[in-house]
Amino acid sequence: MLENQVVIVTGGTRGIGEGIVKLLLNEKAKTIVLAKNKNSIAKLQEAFVGLGDLDTYQCDVTSSEQVSNVIDTIFKKYGRIDTLVNNAGVGVWKPVEEMTEEDWDSQINTNLKGAFLCSQAVYKKMMVNNGGQIVNIASDLAYNTTEKASAYCASKWGLLGLSHTMNKEGKKYGIRVTSVSPGLVQTDFGGVLASKKATGLTVETVADQVLAVIKAGKDAGAIDVIIRP
């Protein structure tokens, strides 16, 4: 059980993030969700009312000011942060010649910069507060490539590099930074509805793996999980 542990999940109002939040609430963790959309937050609160200790904050993870303010607020309220799950992400599927600068920036800024900003803010708290762990939701496309996913692949390859580097730097502070990289997941993502995906991992399968990483013993100094259908 993760009773009373303070766990932050970014992009926790739908898809993989929502699945992770549900498991954390069942584990009695103090579960904190950061999300950009106020309506999505309201729907999550309604869906999980009475399930456990859920706290929510509206936050754009690509804004250093918003991230810094929210993490400071959370730390002051709870006195510690045990785990951060960087799950917020976007995907745009277009061939390179059709990929706009806006398409590129939206994916790099959310998937990579957002994870960096949240990780850095939480990392600083963990450095002086007996460590903790950060779990980055990467992708099978952090190891492979596919057509029409240049920016998405670039963001996830970058996220994997960020994870490995921060893990090496964090060991002396008792901070573990790991990654979970799922293949195709049966969620609405990147403009493709879950109903259009004939195969793929369930949200529950991915969330189970994330929970296993969170609960892994401290003797596991480095963890990289790849999940393929």
* HSE of 84, CA atoms in CB hemisphere, 13 A: 33
Nearest to 181 by CA among 220, 110, 229, 133: 229
pLDDT (tens, 9 = 90+) of the chain, 229 residues, equals 899 999 999 999 999 999 999 999 999 999 999 999 999 999 999 999 999 999 999 999 999 999 999 999 999 999 999 999 999 999 999 999 999 999 999 999 999 999 999 999 999 999 999 999 999 999 999 999 999 999 999 999 999 999 999 999 999 999 999 999 999 998 777 666 666 667 789 999 999 999 999 999 999 999 999 999 9
* Cα separation, 178 vs 166, whole angstroms: 9
Name the β-bridge partners of 100.
none
In the chain, what are the domains?
Answer: 6-227 (3.40.50.720)
What are the phi and psi torsion angles at 79 (to 5°)? 85, -5
Sequence letter at residue 222: A
Helix extents (H) in the chain: 15-26, 38-47, 64-78, 101-107, 114-127, 150-170, 203-215
- The position carrying tokens 């502070």 is 173
Give the sheet arrangement for strand 175-182, strand by strand: 54-58, 30-35, 6-10, 83-86, 132-137, 175-182, 224-227
Catalytic residue among 57, 143, 152, 173: 152
pLDDT score at 200: 87
In 3-state terms, what secondary structure has residue 31? strand
A 10 A CB-CB count for 42 gives: 12
Which of the 8 DSSP states describes residue 136? E
Name the β-bridge partners of 86.
136
Sequence letter at residue 220: A
Dihedral angle, C-alpha 73, 166, 137, 154, nearest 10 °: 120
Catalytic residue at 173? no
* Cα separation, 151 vs 99, whole angstroms: 8
Per the CB < 8 A criterion, the answer to whether 176 and 215 are in contact is no
Give the distance from CA 167 to its chain's centroid: 16
